Amino acid sequence: MARTFFVGGNFKLNGTKSSIKEIVERLNNAKLDPKVEVVLCPPAPYLDYTVSLVKKSQVSVGAQNAYLKASGAFTGENSVDQIKDVGAKWVILGHSERRQYFREDDQLIAEKTAFALSQGVGVILCIGETLDQKKAGTTLQVVERKLQDVIDKVKDWSNVVIAYEPVWAIGTGLAATPEDAQEIHHSIREFLAKKLGEKTAQETRILYGGSANGKNAVTFKDKPDVDGFLVGGASLKPEFVDIINSRS
């Protein structure tokens, strides 16, 4: 089955009104492959503003984090209800920077994922191994464990996009090879088939993330289990358009 190619832009803690306007207007004016779904994830203070700038129906907006309660005494958190209220549709959960700097663990991420989905917000669920785990040959065990914690809580995966993001590749300029990414994506899909059935496995998009850029994106073109990219640094630059158009 044909899965819609998906490219997410994770701006991380970067941007101002003026730089975000420039990025969105570039996308508004660019010729984008119409078959690609694009999701822009600015810092939370700019969600509403970003939604207001987007002019193309294939482009939507997502948050970079959300809590497991919709409202209440949780100072500093993002609410999925508020994300929806400003017209955003997605949230990134499980990003390695949240795991590393904010001590989010697999259980918390699984709970946050289940809650966001229950409120109708799509989840870009990030999983990936550290360099030590890669060297120890435990990549698959690591990603399967992270997925299993979510599988225990979520049965309907139709609003989930998985981002396989090796931690050693994020922000380092050292992307996984297309062959390695394909092999891991294929194994992830087999794991989904075993746990959730062949239909869910075939329908779930698995993105690659980690130093994807305007030059290397095209080298993943013939990899059947790579259904798009989650892009950090390069999503702030003009080359983001080349990544979006890398399948055309």
- The residues of the shown chain that bind ligand PEP, judged by CB under 6 A, are 10, 12, 165, 170-171, 209-212, 230-234
**R_g over Cα of the chain:** 17
CB of 93 to ligand PEP, least distance (A): 12
Beta strands in the chain (DSSP E): 6-10, 37-41, 59-63, 90-93, 122-127, 160-164, 205-209, 228-231
User: Residue 10 or residue 133: which is nearer to ligand PEP going by CB?
Assistant: 10
CB of 21 to ligand PEP, least distance (A): 21
* Residues paired with residue 9 on neighbouring β-strands, in sequence order: 40, 231
CB of 210 to ligand PEP, least distance (A): 5
User: Residue 12 or residue 189: which is nearer to ligand PEP going by CB?
Assistant: 12
Q: Give Cα separations from 167 to 54, 99, 102 (angstroms).
A: 30, 10, 15
User: Residue 131 or residue 202: which is nearer to ligand PEP going by CB?
Assistant: 131
Is 25 known to be catalytic?
Answer: no
Tokens 């917000």, located at residue: 121
Is 165 known to be catalytic?
Answer: yes
User: Residue 92 or residue 196: which is nearer to ligand PEP going by CB?
Assistant: 92
Cα gap 82→158, rounded to integer Å:
22
Estimate the crossing angle of helix 139-151 against helix 106-118, to 10 degrees.
Answer: 40
- Pairing relationship of beta strands 160-164 and 228-231 according to DSSP bridges: unpaired
Q: Which of 104, 129, 144, 165 is catalytic?
A: 165
CB of 243 to ligand PEP, least distance (A): 10
Q: Could you give the residue numbers annotated as active site?
A: 95, 165
